[in-house]
Each structure stands twice: as C-alpha cells, then as structure tokens.
A and B are shown apart, each in its own frame.
Chain A
Amino acid sequence: MNLARALNAIAGNLIPLLNSASADPSPESQANAASLTRVINALLTDAMQANALDVEQKLAAAADALQRLTAFTTQADAASQRLAKQQSNVTRFVSLATNVGKLIVAAASGNVVAAGTAIGSACGDLGI
C-alpha cells in the first residue's frame, strides 16, 4: 500500500467518528468534530500531494521509454517529410522534362510565344 492510499484509508476511517461527534450537540463533541474535520482535511491534502509525487516518480522512471519514443517519432516524421519531398521532386522533374519538350516543339515550329512560355515554366521548375 503506498502512502497516498494509506492516508486516504485513515481519513476514510475517521468519517464515522466525525459523524458520531457531529450528531452529539454537546460543546465538547462539537469541538471534537471540528478537530476531526481539520485532521481529515490535513490527511486528504497530504494524500493528494503524496499521490501527485508518486505520479511524477513513475513517469520519471519511464523517461527512457519516453525519450526513445520521442526520438523515433522524430525519425518517422523526418522520414515522411523526406519522402514527401522526394515525391514532389519527381513531380518537378517530370514538369521540367515536359517544359523542355514543349520548348523543343515550339522551337521546331517557330512558335516564339509558346517557346517563351515553356522557358518561363522550365525556369519555374528549376526555381530560377
């Protein structure tokens, strides 16, 4: 049983005592009830804090697993970005080849406007 659970159990066990004290209207019993309320409250506050610290300790113990997962997430993200970029490079390459083809066709037929457009598009593919 961890500390938080033990403190919770003690606090819970005091509730019937508090109820008995509260049911008795005598000043002494009411004073006891007020004291018990303070004790139970303190136990609950301590239980919650001990419990929160236990959570932090458990997660700290899992730090290696967390770091490894984070590292592989970064690796997978980088790989997916790299592949997406490579796929877009294929599109750019095909587009460049297409525009060069269009330029050849336009030059062969003496179509200056089409040739200019093709050169412009090819420059765009090259990022110029």
Chain B
Amino acid sequence: MRFGRLCVSLFVLVAVALLTGCRQNVDLEALAALSKSVGDSQAAFASLSEDFHQSCVRTVGWQRAADPNTFSDCAEEARAARQWTSADSVVTAYIASLGALAGGASDPGDYGISDFFQTLGNAGVTKTFKADQLKAATGFTKSLIDNFFKVKRREELATVIPAVDASLNGLIATLKEVARTNYVNQLTSERTAVKLFFEPNIARAKPGLETLYAFTFRETEREEQAKIDDKQAAIANYIAALDQISATHHKIAEAIKNNRTADVAGIIRGYAAEYGPDIRALQKAFK
C-alpha cells in the first residue's frame, strides 16, 4: 500500500517536473494579450492604407474643380491600396494566430473530472470524496491536463515564432517604406491639387470685394491642407506601431532561442505600454 502511494507520488512529481520544465519561456497569457492588442489595431491600419486610394479620389476632385476635363478613376491606386491593406492583414492575422495558439479565451472547464470522481466514489472504486477533497482532486487533475496542453501550445509557438521572425521583420520594413515614401507622395499630390484649385483663384482676385472673399478662400485652403497634415502625421504612428510589433516579436524569438525563462511577459508589458497611444492616434487621424 505504502509502495503504491510512493509510486503515485513519484509519478506525479515526474509529470509535474516534465510539464513545467519544457518551453516555459513562452508566456501564453502574455502572447494572447499581444494578439488582442494587434487584432484591435487592424481597422486603424486599414484606415491608413485605404486612404491611399481615398486621397487619389480627393485629388481628382480638386483637379476637376480646377479643370473639368481632367479624369482619372484611381483604379491603379485602388488596387495598390487593396494590396497594402492585405499585406497589413497578413501581419495582424499572423499575430492573431499566435494568440489563438496561445489559448485565447478558450476555457475547457474541468473536463467533467469532478463528475467522474463522484461516480468513482459512488461505484466504490475510490472512497467517496468530501466536497473539499473533490475540489482539490479535480483541481489537481485539471491542472495536470491543462499543463499538458500548455506545453503542447508552447512547443508549437516556440517552433513558429523564431521561424517567422526574419520574414515578419522584412515585410514590416516594406510596409513602413510604403507608408514613408508612397503614401507621402500621394499626399503631396493631394496638397498640390488643393493649391492648384485655390491659389490661381486667389491670385485672380481683383482689389475690393474679391480680395475680401480671397481671405475666406485662403482660410478654406489652410483647413484642407491641415487635414492632409493630420494624415501625414499619422504615418509616424503607423510606423511606430509596426516597429513595436516587429521589435516585440524579435525579442520573443530571441527569448525562445536563448531559453530565457520569464522574459516574454516583460517584453509584452513594455510593448503594450507603448503600442496603445500610437493606435489611438491613428484612429483619431482617420475617424
């Protein structure tokens, strides 16, 4: 009898040691939190990339106001904007998949273990557990099963994250470049189109009443240029948000490679503190 208990105790100790010793440096809850914050920002990213097309539409509006014979359907710009949005989605979908793999919000309950133990007691296989004993036995068994699956999840994550790190960083570098150069070029075209409409009309104003009207005209032009300024300022937030995803992912990949226990939660806490303000600024610029 004592030998049996000893065997059971040894088995439990070995099982717990195995379950807690493997790949514990991937913090599942922290990864799920990272995934949620990136998932929430998908719409903010899309508002910027889709504005690449919207800016073309606005530009053509100003161009036509200056010369009604001008026409462009912005088809090329629409296609480029869709591709940019899709590339953004590849990043956010990847991070979301890490969150799902980390466990997300899924709760398997107690796997029906308490009912099982009660039945064992009723059948006379074991003694009948008192309420607190049943709770303890159920909790222990559930945590053993949970840990088994957590180890599996950590192993999968520890395979995926380092393998994808270089590709993610490369893609993010491209997305930043598109925002920094191409979106800025598009906004520059829009600025020039705004000037093209307003400035010759202001220059044409004759002394007197027309000059007076020109003041309000100038003010409207400033307002239009300010809207473009806000959008251009949001590029910095988009780039900062992407930088944070890239840097956080890279640090997690390094923590996994170097088996640095407990680094991941700290890395993600640092990321969460900086990521939120950039996303809120993006949402504000394109509301």
CB pair A54–B182 under 8 Å, yes or no, is yes
CB pair A53–B171 under 8 Å, yes or no, is no
- Could you tell me the distance between the alpha carbons of A90 and B112 in the complex, rounded to whole angstroms? 9
Chain A contacts for B193, CB-based, 8 A: 44
Chain A contacts for B70, CB-based, 8 A: 38, 41, 45
Interface centre among A55, A58, A98 (most CB of B within 10 A): A55
0 or 1 for each of A87-113: is its CB under 8 Å from B? (1 = yes): 110110011011001101100100000
* Chain A CB within 8 A of B79 CB: yes
- Could you tell me the distance between the alpha carbons of A56 and B69 in the complex, rounded to whole angstroms? 28
Give residues of chain B (108-144) contacting chain A, Cβ–Cβ below 8 Å: 108-109, 111-113, 115-116, 119-120, 122-123, 125
- Could you tell me the distance between the alpha carbons of A80 and B109 in the complex, rounded to whole angstroms? 17
Smallest CB–CB gap between A27 and chain B, Å? 14
Cβ-defined partner of A98 (8 Å) among B98, B116, B153: B116
0 or 1 for each of A46-70: is its CB under 8 Å from B? (1 = yes): 0111011111101101101110111
CB pair A15–B196 under 8 Å, yes or no, is yes
CB pair B189–A73 under 8 Å, yes or no, is no
* Chain B CB within 8 A of A23 CB: yes
CB pair B76–A44 under 8 Å, yes or no, is no
CB pair B192–A15 under 8 Å, yes or no, is yes
Residues of B near any A CB (own CB < 8 A): 52, 56, 59-60, 63, 66-67, 69-70, 72, 74, 76-77, 79-80, 83-84, 87, 90-91, 93-94, 97-98, 100-101, 104, 106, 108-109, 111-113, 115-116, 119-120, 122-123, 125, 145, 149, 152-153, 156-157, 160, 163-164, 167-168, 170-171, 174, 177-178, 181-182, 185-186, 188-189, 192-193, 195-196, 199-204
Query: Could you list 28 examples of A-B contacts with CB < 8 Å?
Result: A2-B181, A4-B189, A11-B189, A12-B188, A12-B195, A15-B195, A19-B200, A33-B200, A37-B196, A41-B66, A44-B196, A45-B72, A51-B80, A52-B56, A55-B80, A55-B182, A58-B177, A59-B87, A65-B167, A69-B171, A76-B156, A83-B153, A87-B106, A87-B145, A91-B111, A101-B120, A101-B125, A105-B123
Known: A20-B203, A23-B203, A101-B122. 11 other contacts (CB 8 A): A5-B185, A22-B201, A22-B203, A45-B70, A48-B56, A52-B77, A59-B80, A59-B174, A86-B152, A91-B111, A104-B123
Residues of A near any B CB (own CB < 8 A): 2, 4-5, 8, 11-12, 15, 18-23, 25, 33-34, 37-38, 40-41, 44-45, 47-49, 51-56, 58-59, 61-62, 64-66, 68-70, 72-73, 75-77, 79-80, 83-84, 86-88, 90-91, 94-95, 97-98, 101-102, 104-105, 108
